[in-house]
A and B are shown apart, each in its own frame.
Chain A
């Protein structure tokens, strides 16, 4: 990508993020229920509630609240949780490793399982293997991730006792522990993405095989190893990368319910609790972070795309 194109994209990304900040802030002002009421507890007097509202700065004009929030973000300060008084950035940093671990392992599982399955199916179109892969992929896309997680917990954790049923163990406390805790949620989360990738990879490979020059090469006796190395992978990689970009948001969203089923204290749990408690600052931080991740992933995808495809780079 040329520098100007890159700058345009970056600028576009920033505009998107700014719009997201505006939208979330506006949306959350419409929320009924007052966080001061909850902080005050069950038996507080109205005067006490008003006192707390002032302490939290909830009585200031909206524009002031938005500008001070936005100004804080630019200094890396996302505000403080209404309930714990914890800096939002800390809460997010604490929750992020669990969710990012699950999401990336899910992505890894999806790529390692989905792409080869799709490529093989595409190469042997019409074979029983192809049919099996296609069927599994179709079913995989239709399964709710949280249901898969429930089934895996029931079978692998509760019935067979092979894996811990719940929680998250930081990488720092041992890779084995870490992996055993995220194996179930990551598998459940990655399944649909694996299926999606397999379908796309299969379609692309099949598409490449249809091209006249490949047919000619095959007729001349070119081996399938040559074919895969020189033509199929390059052509298949582009749409696969594109799909990965589209999946970033889906994975983050899917993680919300799966984290709940698997008892993982990640970003999803943080977000749900923030919604239930009307903890505006946490929710705003979460939404902004999710949007930032998606924007960055898509910038990366754009970059990878042009790197993989010289034609785009030249244009």
Chain B
């Protein structure tokens, strides 16, 4: 007679076998194609759609690998030739002429030429893309000949280069313009799409790329690890070649013998946005007081560690032309709680006031929120923290449904002028209270007229200083570079936002 226990074990064994079979049937990653090693990247997310027309912030990096861009933004913030070989901005800044690279073909075999560029830009201007709003100042696009495109503009055109270095410059093969490209590629970029499923994106180097000689890896695999600690642990265990990290992990990266990758220019900044249409935030004295009550170095060090986020009262990185060298030493940018209390009293708010501060649920958000609560509490402003999940958080911010909100924003994408448009000009997407400081639009226009950064800087600096002295509705805390770490055997890796992963190579393991 079989004992009940052995029957029980038989049942368990059967079930285990069933699972084993299920687990085996899931396909593992294929072995590398060609002789070159593949690069495996750990990211916090991959795009939901690979269509550049549907790209969201931070997704351009992956999509650009399939499409390439007309202009390549370099890690130091300058612009280099890519699909366009050269360009000129007319002296009145109203005409941009592009000279296209000859002999380039799309991955589907179609030739890349001026007609293709015109077709792309005209289609996007008609609407339906996430970047159509960046092209509203284009009056017309002309294909002068096969290699030349002339873009006529309605206002000062310097920011257009940055636009063409982003999604708007990712040229789609005209034959595919009318199609759904969320799960396939129709570009001229260095990589072709191999596999795209849920949490994994696999790309293979394309031998037909115009700069194929620069391709150092056989392909790129992007694996998603939403949890920051899990991602770094995967890198430490050798599962990944490189991964994005958060500033508080810098020490762990150093201790575990990995290489830290810090971009030359921080592409984003952390800041508090207040709704000037709500509470007491319409009063410049209140905003000035809140700026003075911020101890930026203390916040930056506590939340992001030493050097993880550079304390600054302006959004731009010190290496950016838009950064004003004198702004951070102005009185309005200092930590001065006593003066802050005076200003509040002057505003008739000696007893302070209450407001709700929305933050995300990730640790850095809640930490910043709690520190702000303490620092503004010092001058009598009572902060109620409200951590919100991603969708509600983003939605509330976009719809202007907040008193104050802590967030991280790109500071110079597609161009430095976008920051001013978004936050300081009426109609800006992050200006629900219709904040409007006289003179801002004029200074912005002046700054957008010059072709080179040196000529754009003075007006921009003046604009930022004016806003600072008025008490800006967006209160920058620190500029944050997106950090990554890599194994020692990975060479020439560029992890900035616009990288196309062309020069990187991986030593055989």
Contacts and interface: CB of A to CB of B under 8 A. Distances in A.
Interface stretch (A38-46, A62-70, A121-129, A215-223): A38-46
Contact of A308 (B7, B15, B128): B7
Contacts of A32: 392
A101 B28 contact: no
Contacts of B182: 85
Dominant secondary structure at the A interface: helix
B239 to A, nearest CB: 6
Interface stretch (A2-10, A12-20, A71-79, A92-100): A92-100
Contact of A165 (B20, B22, B197, B236): B236
Contacts of B237: 164-167
Interface string A79-122: 00101111000110110110011001001100100010000000
A308 B4 contact: yes
Interface in B243-290: none
A168 to B, nearest CB: 10
A167 B239 contact: yes
A167 B182 CA distance: 28
A11 interface: no
A304 interface: yes
Given A165-B233, A277-B391, A241 B398 contact: no
Contacts, number: 152
A201 B397 CA distance: 56
A173 interface: yes
B198 A38 contact: no
Nearest to A48: B130
Given A171-B24, A172-B26, A38 B197 contact: no
Interface string B301-318: 000000000000000000
Contacts of A157: 233
B26 A35 contact: no
A276 B389 contact: yes
A32 B390 CA distance: 12
Interface stretch (A133-141, A187-195, A232-240): A232-240
A101 B23 contact: yes
Interface string B41-53: 0000000110000
Interface string B1-30: 001110110011001100110111011100
Interface in B196-230: 197-199, 224-227, 229-230
Interface residues of A, number: 64
B488 interface: no
A108 B16 CA distance: 9
Given A34-B391, A166-B234, A171-B20, A42 B57 contact: yes
Interface residues of B, number: 52
B395 interface: yes
A51 interface: yes
Given A33-B392, A41-B130, A104-B16, A172 B24 contact: yes
B56 A86 contact: no
Contact of A263 (B27, B234, B422): B234
A270 B28 CA distance: 19
B391 A237 contact: no
Interface of B: 3-5, 7-8, 11-12, 15-16, 19-20, 22-24, 26-28, 48-49, 55-57, 128, 130, 133, 182-183, 197-199, 224-227, 229-231, 233-234, 236-237, 239, 389-392, 394-395, 397-398, 422, 429
Given A166-B233, A308-B4, 14 more contacts: A33-B391, A38-B390, A93-B26, A100-B19, A100-B23, A165-B236, A166-B234, A178-B23, A229-B3, A233-B3, A276-B391, A277-B391, A304-B8, A308-B7
18 contacts: A33-B392, A35-B391, A42-B394, A44-B130, A81-B198, A90-B198, A91-B198, A100-B22, A108-B16, A166-B230, A166-B234, A170-B28, A172-B28, A234-B3, A260-B227, A263-B234, A275-B389, A308-B4
In the A-B complex, the 7 residue pairs with the smallest Cβ-Cβ separation, listed nearest first, are A263-B230, A41-B56, A97-B23, A171-B23, A166-B233, A237-B4, A83-B48
